[in-house]
């Protein structure tokens, strides 16, 4: 079990670090555009409270924006319970040489939520694996 926690923790730390570097590059070397929400990617997860559990539906906005005369579309990396209404205008940040895979809605939560969560989970798993040693 200790090895599994350590491996999962290291993978989360590596993934979170890679995403954080991409976000930093996007902030410092990226471009901005106005995007428009064109849909939602729906996912369902379970939420447990005591002895009961319930299903929670989460929504990740699908955003379309234009760069260099070409339309690009991406799905935000952060889902939330509330939908952003279709047609809503949102700020987008992206790397001009790779707009399809680097784009994200340019709000602090959406830009930094996933990297911070992955780094936190990775750190917790690594600490837990080391606590199991002794």
| pLDDT tens figures, 25-84 | 999 999 999 999 999 999 997 777 777 788 889 999 999 999 999 999 999 988 899 999
Q: What is the pLDDT of residue 71?
A: 97
Per-residue HEC secondary structure of the chain comes to CHHHHHHHHHHHHHHHHHHHHHHHHHHHHCEEEEEEEEEEEEEEEEEEECCEEEEEEEEEEEEEEEECCEEEEEECCCCECCCCCCCCEEEEEECCCCHHHHCEECCHHHHHHHHHHHHHHHHHHHHHHHHCCC
- pTM: predicted TM-score of the whole model, two decimal places: 0.78
Q: What is the pLDDT of residue 134?
A: 64
Q: What is the pLDDT of residue 45?
A: 79
| pLDDT tens figures, 87-123 | 999 999 999 999 999 999 999 999 998 899 999 999 9
Q: Which residues of 61-83 are buried (b: 16+ CB within 10 A; e: fewer)?
A: bbbebebeeeebebebbbbeeeb
């Amino acid at each position: 079990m200790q090895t599994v926690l350590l491996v999962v923790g290291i993978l989360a730390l590596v993934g979170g670090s890679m995403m954080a570097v991409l976000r930093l590059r996007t902030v410092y070397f990226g471009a901005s555009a106005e995007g428009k929400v064109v849909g939602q990617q729906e996912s369902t997860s379970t939420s447990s409270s005591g002895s009961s559990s319930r299903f929670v539906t989460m929504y990740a906005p699908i955003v379309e924006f234009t760069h260099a005369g070409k339309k690009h579309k991406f799905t935000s990396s952060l889902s939330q319970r509330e939908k952003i209404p279709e047609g809503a205008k949102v700020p987008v940040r992206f790397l001009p040489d790779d707009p399809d895979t680097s784009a994200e809605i340019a709000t602090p939560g959406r830009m930094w939520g996933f990297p911070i969560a992955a780094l936190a989970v990775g750190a917790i798993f690594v600490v837990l694996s080391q606590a199991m040693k002794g």
